[in-house]
A and B are shown apart, each in its own frame.
Chain A
Amino acid sequence: MTAKLSPTQIAWRAAQDIADGAYVNLGIGFPEMVAKFQPPGRQAIFHTENGILGFGEAPPAGQEDWDLINAGKKAVTLKPGTAFFHHADSFAMVRGGHLDVAILGAYEVAENGDLANWSTGPKGVPAVGGAMDLVHGAKRVAVITDHVTKDGKPKLVKHCTLPLTGVGCVTRVYSSLAVIDIEGGRFVLREKLPSLSVDELQSLTGAEMLVPAPPADLIVPEL
């Protein structure tokens, strides 16, 4: 079994690419961790679908205000400069191209940038939330994910088999093994764990990766 990055480490890596002053939406769950790892000296402004820009981290237990929550229904806090707005304005920010980055989870990402992250099939109760909106409009749509599923199947694939969230929308994947861009309908390898050869990584990836230059080492601190 190859060494791989933990979810926390993947979130750390994704956070390194967020510029000072960027407007950022983090998907609920795992992507929310990205906010913890902003590099010193940089301040991103986080957007949540339910109508807040520039919120702060979670309050201590017992100090929650349930009118001040994020899209995951978790309590957040105010910071100087926080703004509230209604849902139509919130999604104008999303679809209107005003967000710099959206970082989302994934079940599958295809080489053409198709994303499947909202439904694992017809069983159970379907729920989509803001996922289908978030994949349109942000200047960069990045995915953070394990490179393979729990039973070892590639999550980076030629074609998605699960119901799509959006077509051709993902621009970069931060996986547990590599950083891969999506350009011209192809996976382009940028960084990989030093312990892994390109061939080994290719064998865990469901479509051919282009390697136009030697990939940089993906080095992440122990967290």
Chain B
Amino acid sequence: MDKTLPDLATAVAGIEDGVTVMIGGFGGSGAPIELIHALIDRFLATGHPRDLTVVNNNAGNGHVGLAALIETGMVRKLICSFPRSADPVVFTERYLAGQIELELVPQGTLAERIRAGGAGIPAFYTPTSYGTDLARGKPVEVFEGRPYVQERWLKADYALVKAHLGDRLGNLTYRMAARNFNPLMCTAAATTIVQVSRIVDAGAIGPEAVITPGIFVQGVIEVPNPAQEEDLNRAQARYPEVAQ
């Protein structure tokens, strides 16, 4: 078994129009910038994929990564908790112009919906959002005297994930707080593609150190020294670079 992929273009080649793509990260931390940019490259070359539904905690920052994916016009709908950032202009303009749909989900509910999707649990009850606008139309049930809101699982066709080390079996570790949504998204997508800083031999990640077991991973691509969204934004980078 070897889940390693030869290059970024191959890694994103199967993503079709109209699918749901979970993209890991919290802000720039844990965001698979190179996989996102490879998807943009494919769109610019072929016109596909488009009409994507993207699941991410945020809505991009500046003009790289997720913001660039939105700016390129590939995203029809975003499911997120916090579509604000230091520079949210790309999403904000499209949203206010009615060009992109937003499903706003409380952050813990978003995490648990993804967890439930990966765990085969179609619905669950949470105290979060009870009595608020975000609970409108959702079933409410009382348990032990307290009201809870029913939420549904969230699943995806693809997950694009950033991890730290990976082996050919798809076992993964994460670096610091870049873990965030990434391990959950690995479980909830039919096809999970992971960029890792280094591919190591099977066994090099100790069994007790594996955070995501390879069963949740379909493809691993090595991206040494991955870009940090924050660094790109401080350098005022744009993707793709605009020809002047």
Q: Give the contact stretch, choosing among B5-13, B65-73, B174-182, B199-207.
A: B174-182
Task: Encode B106-117 as 1/0 by CB contact (under 8 A) with A.
Answer: 111111101100
Q: Give the contact stretch, choosing among B15-23, B46-54, B84-92.
A: B84-92
A114, chain B: closest CB distance, angstroms = 8
When distances are taken between beta carbons in the complex, the residues of chain B under 8 Å from A129 are 81-82, 106-107
Please state if A52 and B177 are interface contacts (CB–CB under 8 Å).
yes
Tell me, yes or no, whether B44 is within 8 Å of chain A by CB. no
Interface size on A, residues (CB 8 A): 40
Q: A50-B177, A51-B179 are in contact. Are A88 and B127 (CB under 8 A)?
A: no
CA distance A211 to B134 in the complex (A): 36
When distances are taken between beta carbons in the complex, the residues of chain B under 8 Å from A86 are 111, 179-184, 211
Please state if B176 and A67 are interface contacts (CB–CB under 8 Å).
yes
Please state if A165 and B132 are interface contacts (CB–CB under 8 Å).
yes
When distances are taken between beta carbons in the complex, the residues of chain A under 8 Å from B85 are 73
When distances are taken between beta carbons in the complex, the residues of chain B under 8 Å from A73 are 26-29, 85-86
CA distance A132 to B104 in the complex (A): 12
In the complex, residue of chain B having the shortest beta-carbon distance to the beta carbon of A165: B132
When distances are taken between beta carbons in the complex, the residues of chain B under 8 Å from A48 are 177
In the complex, residue of chain A having the shortest beta-carbon distance to the beta carbon of B25: A50
B192, chain A: closest CB distance, angstroms = 14
Q: A87-B111, A88-B112 are in contact. Are A125 and B92 (CB under 8 A)?
A: yes
User: Which B residues between 121 and 176 are near A, CB-CB below 8 angstroms?
Assistant: 126-134, 174-176
Please state if B180 and A130 are interface contacts (CB–CB under 8 Å).
no
Tell me, yes or no, whether B43 is within 8 Å of chain A by CB. no
Task: Encode A60-73 as 1/0 by CB contact (under 8 A) with B.
Answer: 00001111110001
When distances are taken between beta carbons in the complex, the residues of chain B under 8 Å from A119 are 133
In the complex, residue of chain A having the shortest beta-carbon distance to the beta carbon of B106: A132
Tell me, yes or no, whether A137 is within 8 Å of chain B by CB. yes
CA distance A163 to B106 in the complex (A): 14
In the complex, residue of chain A having the shortest beta-carbon distance to the beta carbon of B30: A67
Tell me, yes or no, whether B102 is within 8 Å of chain A by CB. yes
A14, chain B: closest CB distance, angstroms = 23
Chain A's interface: helix, strand, loop or mixed, by majority? loop
CA distance A129 to B110 in the complex (A): 10
Please state if A130 and B177 are interface contacts (CB–CB under 8 Å).
no
CA distance A85 to B111 in the complex (A): 12
Tell me, yes or no, whether B32 is within 8 Å of chain A by CB. no
When distances are taken between beta carbons in the complex, the residues of chain A under 8 Å from B102 are 125-126
* Residue of A51, A87, A130 contacting most chain B CB atoms (<10 Å): A87
Q: Give the contact stretch, choosing among A4-12, A89-97, A200-208.
A: A89-97
When distances are taken between beta carbons in the complex, the residues of chain A under 8 Å from B28 are 66, 73
* Cross-interface CB contact of A128 among B106, B175, B183, cutoff 8 Å: B106
* Cross-interface CB contact of B29 among A69, A127, A165, A167, cutoff 8 Å: A69
* Residue of A94, A132, A137, A165 contacting most chain B CB atoms (<10 Å): A132
User: Which A residues between 175 and 215 are near B, CB-CB below 8 angstroms?
Assistant: none
Q: Give the contact stretch, choosing among B34-42, B214-222, B223-231, B236-244.
A: B223-231
Nearest 9 pairs of A and B residues by beta carbon: A91-B108, A133-B108, A167-B131, A87-B111, A136-B127, A132-B106, A130-B107, A67-B176, A129-B82
Residues of chain B having any CB pair with chain A under 8 Å: 26-30, 81-86, 88, 91-92, 95-96, 102, 104-112, 114-115, 126-134, 174-184, 211, 228-231
Of the A-B pairs whose beta carbons lie under 8 Å apart in the complex, a sample of 23, sorted by A's number, is A50-B177, A50-B180, A51-B179, A66-B230, A66-B231, A67-B30, A67-B176, A67-B228, A73-B28, A73-B29, A86-B182, A87-B111, A88-B184, A125-B84, A125-B91, A129-B81, A129-B106, A130-B81, A133-B128, A163-B133, A164-B133, A165-B132, A166-B130
Q: With A86-B179, A133-B128 given, can you name 18 additional A-B contacts, CB distance below 8 Å?
A: A50-B177, A52-B177, A68-B177, A73-B27, A85-B179, A86-B184, A87-B110, A87-B181, A114-B131, A125-B96, A125-B102, A131-B106, A132-B108, A132-B128, A132-B129, A133-B107, A133-B108, A163-B133
